[in-house]
Structure 1
Amino acid sequence: MRPTLLIQSRVLGAIVGAALLLGACEPRLSSPVMTAATEGATCAVPADLQPARPYPIPADEAAPDVPVAFNMLAVSWSPQACRSGKDYPDERYQCAQNQFGLTLHGLWPNGADNKHPRYCAAPGPAIPVATVKKHFCMTPSPSLQQHEWAAHGTCGWDSPEAYFEQAARMWNGLNKPDLEAIPAERLTAGAIRDAFVAANPGLPRDGVFIATTDGWFREARLCYSKTYQPTACPRGLGAPDRERLKLAPTGVSGGAQTAP
């Protein structure tokens, strides 16, 4: 081999060897799908997804004149909804076609006491299909989206698009903790509360309300001011820190369908 070609061959070999060495030392990039540790779901928007039908306002639930004192962002554990059949009525989309972790139940304006603004205006026609699809991976149920807009969104926003955009800004700004990383023997309401606080600097510990169902974790309701700043929950924190809880595993489907 001629000297020039020999030098070029050796240089090329050194470059390739260095690249392989660096590749072996660097962590492998994960597949670009959302996980429980990041966004709380692996999500594919169903091709046949359609809006839910509007429904009449329940006269005994309408409270349009209650002033808003603060807001709650209700973050649900989807496997519990799939396990129990409660909270979300679209099992086929939420539980059979996807495996979600944390999902958004809704953004709720709250009153100063135990009475809250609800059904503040006629919700109008069905939410546009483009809006339903856009926010499916956040709230994977057309029926729940329709309900949240009618019951809560009409109490502060002029359109479903404006309501869900505000909810999405808060949802996307929230770091979702990996609740399945908490050992089962250490799973308490306090451990879940701590996980949300650790993942979200600035979220006060007394701003995390933990809701449960028969000893199972159901959802975390995070408290925000009227200007959407994290704040302490003014009426307690739900389950006490010491309460032992169970966490439904991801991938569970089935259950009777009941409206939230």
Structure 2
Amino acid sequence: MKTLSQRIATMMAAASVVLATLIVAPVAKAETLTTAQACPAYLSIKKKTGEVMLAQGETYQVVAHNKEPPTWLQVEVATAAPKGRWVAVGCAQASQPGRPDAPAPSGPAQPHPPGGKASHLLSLSWEPTFCEAHGDKTECAGETSASPDARQLSLHGLWPQPKGFYYCIADAAEKKRIRDLDDAHQWDKLPEPGLSGGVHDRLAVAMPGVQSLLERHEWAKHGTCFGATPDAYFGRAVDLVDQINASAVGQLIAANVGKTVTTAQIRAAFDDAFGAGSADAVAVKCAGAAITEIEVYLAGPVNGTDPVGKLLHHADEASTCQKGQLSRPNS
């Protein structure tokens, strides 16, 4: 039987092991994070519990990283108890005295180095493939070979990363209400983003799903985490899509409707359009033998005015196919 002193020593050793598992990549005391948008922060990264909202434009002390390079930062929130909360790095870039930010590139640039994750994902859909499986959608019923979405990539969404960074709504009850409606696909009951006429008209061309109220879903789930007004969010997304459709990528797509295109061809078109190495930012997605999406990973001032060539970042996920058909419209 152990003596009292032996039991105390065993307990202290066990406690030291537990503490060791809780200390995750402590950082220099001078490191801070200034939020680019309102962001949720959690006690638990995995369970997403203990949520508090960080206000846009506020500066918080960074006390730990989840790993190196980090995907989550633990910050001190003065109004929370306990103060430590984990926030995704996509909320803002941490800064530290004596560690200046890299200068912005002056022209088309290679994707950012692979040390970190992308902050945004621009998802571009090939609408005729989507409509093959969703013929009941309003936008699919009216699709013809003369439709804009039958010869160019369409906007699915511009999604702040990482995955799970959704529904940035400060009021917890309202957040749950919106999320429940969205999960049930009751988009007609979601709030209208309130877009100006000009932005709505541009979006209706770039995103055929507007006919099915897709913009309400995209704003509630993703746009609220972008840190800008609905007009600015959707206007920026349309700008990025338009740049890609006007490039060698768009030319490749338009010239091969109804044909099989390889992932290598699509990636090479990105290199031609935006500079060597740009292909690394691209992942092509297929369903069976048909191309469904082209995913473009971004980082940097995505909510600013930089052209897409300056924002490309190494893709977080790989392509799912080596080639696929660009389906023709059903009608």
109, 112, 128: which one aligns with 1:79: 128
Could you say which residue in structure 2 is the equivalent of 1:162? 232
Could you say which residue in structure 2 is the equivalent of 1:118? 166
Residues 1:150 and 2:232 aligned together: no
Could you say which residue in structure 1 is the equivalent of 2:318? 237
CA–CA distance in structure 1, aligned partners of residues 330 and 145 of structure 2: 8
Equivalent positions of 1:111-260 (< 5 A) are 111=162, 115-121=163-169, 122=175, 125-128=191-194, 130=197, 131-142=199-210, 143-174=213-244, 175=247, 176-182=250-256, 187-201=261-275, 204-228=278-302, 229-233=311-315, 235-240=316-321, 243-249=322-328, 251-253=329-331
Q: Is the 8 A contact 1:75 1:103 kept in 2?
A: yes
CA–CA distance in structure 2, aligned partners of residues 218 and 186 of structure 1: 12
CA–CA distance in structure 2, aligned partners of residues 203 and 75 of structure 1: 20
Q: Is the 8 A contact 2:191 2:216 kept in 1?
A: no
Q: Is the 8 A contact 1:177 1:199 kept in 2?
A: no
Q: Is the 8 A contact 1:179 1:195 kept in 2?
A: no
Letter of the aligned partner of 1:239 in structure 2? T
Residues 1:105 and 2:156 aligned together: yes
CA–CA distance in structure 1, aligned partners of residues 240 and 258 of structure 2: 29
1:92 CA drift (Å): 4.0
For the structure 1 residues 162 and 149, does the alpha-carbon distance in structure 2 shift closer, same or farther, using more than 3 Å as the test? same
1:193 CA drift (Å): 2.1
Of the two structures, which has the highest relative contact order with CA contacts closer than 8 Å and spacing of 6 or more? 1
Letter of the aligned partner of 1:238 in structure 2? S
1:169 CA drift (Å): 2.6
What do the CA deviations read for 1:180-203 (whole angstroms, capped 9, x no partner)?
Answer: 535988632222222333233366
Q: Is the 8 A contact 1:203 1:231 kept in 2?
A: no
Can you give the 5+ residue segments of structure 1 that lack an aligned partner in the other structure?
A: 1-59, 254-260
Give the structure-2-normalised TM-score: 0.48
CA–CA distance in structure 2, aligned partners of residues 179 and 134 of structure 1: 20
Could you say which residue in structure 2 is the equivalent of 1:91? 140
1:83 CA drift (Å): 1.8
Letter of the aligned partner of 1:82 in structure 2? C
1:137 CA drift (Å): 0.9
Can you give the 5+ residue segments of structure 2 that lack an aligned partner in the other structure?
A: 1-46, 54-86, 91-117, 170-174, 179-189, 303-310
1:157 CA drift (Å): 2.7
Letter of the aligned partner of 2:327 in structure 1? A
Query: Root-mean-square deviation (CA), in Å?
Result: 3.5
Q: Is the 8 A contact 1:74 1:106 kept in 2?
A: yes
CA–CA distance in structure 2, aligned partners of residues 168 and 183 of structure 1: 22
CA–CA distance in structure 1, aligned partners of residues 145 and 166 of structure 2: 31
Could you say which residue in structure 2 is the equivalent of 1:256? none
What do the CA deviations read for 1:5-57 (whole angstroms, capped 9, x no partner)?
Answer: xxxxxxxxxxxxxxxxxxxxxxxxxxxxxxxxxxxxxxxxxxxxxxxxxxxxx
CA–CA distance in structure 1, aligned partners of residues 140 and 223 of structure 2: 23
Give the structure-1-normalised TM-score: 0.60
For the structure 1 residues 92 and 160, does the alpha-carbon distance in structure 2 shift closer, same or farther, using more than 3 Å as the test? farther
Which has more strand, going by share of residues?
2
What is the DSSP-based 3-state SS (H/G/I as helix, E as strand, rest coil) of the residue aligned with 1:210?
strand
For the structure 1 residues 180 and 172, does the alpha-carbon distance in structure 2 shift closer, same or farther, using more than 3 Å as the test? closer
CA–CA distance in structure 1, aligned partners of residues 243 and 259 of structure 2: 30
CA–CA distance in structure 2, aligned partners of residues 220 and 82 of structure 1: 16
CA–CA distance in structure 1, aligned partners of residues 260 and 228 of structure 2: 44
CA–CA distance in structure 2, aligned partners of residues 140 and 96 of structure 1: 14
